[in-house]
Amino acid sequence: MRAVDAEESLNGSGGAVETVSGLFVVLEGGEGVGKTTQWQRLSSTLRAVGHEVVAVREPGGTQAGDAIRALLLDPTSSLAPGAEALLFAASRAQLVADVIEPALARGAVVLVDRFLLSTYAYQGAGRGLPLDVLSGVNRLATGGRAPDLTLLLNVPLDVAMARMQARGAADRMEQEEAAFHERVRAAFDTALTPAWQQAHPEVGPVIAVMAQGDVDAVTVRCLEALVQRWPARFTAAATSLLHSR
């Protein structure tokens, strides 16, 4: 169920017209990599050049999902690993049904802050739940919808941890011990390998974006990744950002 950049359909007079289909792009990464900042900046940059952008985050994005998010990230919540995984899947199921699928159907660019890869990294590697179990649960949640592209933001782990600590109050996931975040980071690194991606087509293609340094430069790198995959659709956005710097 992967979107295609553009397809040809016939209009009533027999001529060909271009129909632009939706694109599903995910931003991923561990705590402190600047993922949410780039998700917001990418959304605003694409909107500024005329794209319809639907930007949502996981967990959340719906009334049910926002309630689940509050529970999952509350530092006072005590959740078993299985309960945590099922709550993430429940939020995802509602988001896919209510927001992602309708937006893709009308040709929007859907930008999601986290998706299935985070489940594999956090609840899989981090919590120790089997990936085949998580995959089965999430087949129901996603309905088979895989991202067209995942941008995995990377910074050295010590830099990410320092950023996270500098933010002050930490949520339930951020409060986990260093060993947990190391396992999560290792899982994200593994997801960049061709063999892992071939074995997990439900995650879609994953590419790395270096997220260290100036935030504008990181946004340009994200846009360049989109341009490389879909040049006709995103070159204008990249050019606009470069000219504004």
- Tell which phi-psi region holds residue 2, choosing left (phi > 0), alpha (psi between -120 and 50) or beta: beta
Q: Is 145's pLDDT higher than 80?
A: yes
DSSP-derived secondary structure letter, 202? G
Local confidence band at 245 (pLDDT 50, 70, 90 cut-offs): low
Q: Is 10's pLDDT higher than 60?
A: no
| pLDDT of 137 | 96
Query: Cα dist. 48→33, 41, 194, 224, 230 in Å?
Result: 25, 11, 34, 17, 18
Helix, strand, coil share of the chain (percent; to 5): 55, 15, 30
8 Å CB contact between 150 and 130: no
Local confidence band at 208 (pLDDT 50, 70, 90 cut-offs): very high
101-126 residue pLDDT tens: 999 999 999 999 999 999 999 999 99
Q: Out of 1.10.8.50, 1.10.3720.10, 3.40.50.300, 3.40.50.1820, which CATH number does the structure's domain 23-244 have?
A: 3.40.50.300
Rounded mean pLDDT, 194-219: 96
Q: Crossing angle, helix 157-166 and helix 178-191, to 10 degrees?
A: 130
Q: Is 238's pLDDT higher than 80?
A: no
Alpha helices in the chain (DSSP H): 35-48, 63-73, 81-95, 101-105, 116-118, 131-142, 157-166, 178-191, 194-199, 215-229, 231-244
Output the six-digit token pair for 181. Answer: 């975040």
Ranges of each domain in the chain: 23-244
Q: Is 133's pLDDT higher than 80?
A: yes
8 Å CB contact between 87 and 73: no
* Proportion of the chain above pLDDT 70, given as a percent: 90
Mean pLDDT of the chain: 90
Rounded mean pLDDT, 228-234: 93
Q: Which of 28-32, 104-108, 149-153 has the lowest mean pLDDT?
A: 28-32
Judged on CB neighbours under 10 Å (0-12, 13-18, 19+), 96 is buried
| pLDDT of 165 | 77
| pLDDT of 6 | 39
Rounded mean pLDDT, 41-52: 94
Return the SS3 of 83: helix
Rounded mean pLDDT, 150-155: 96
**Position 211, amino acid:** A
102 Cβ contact list (under 8 Å, min separation 6): none
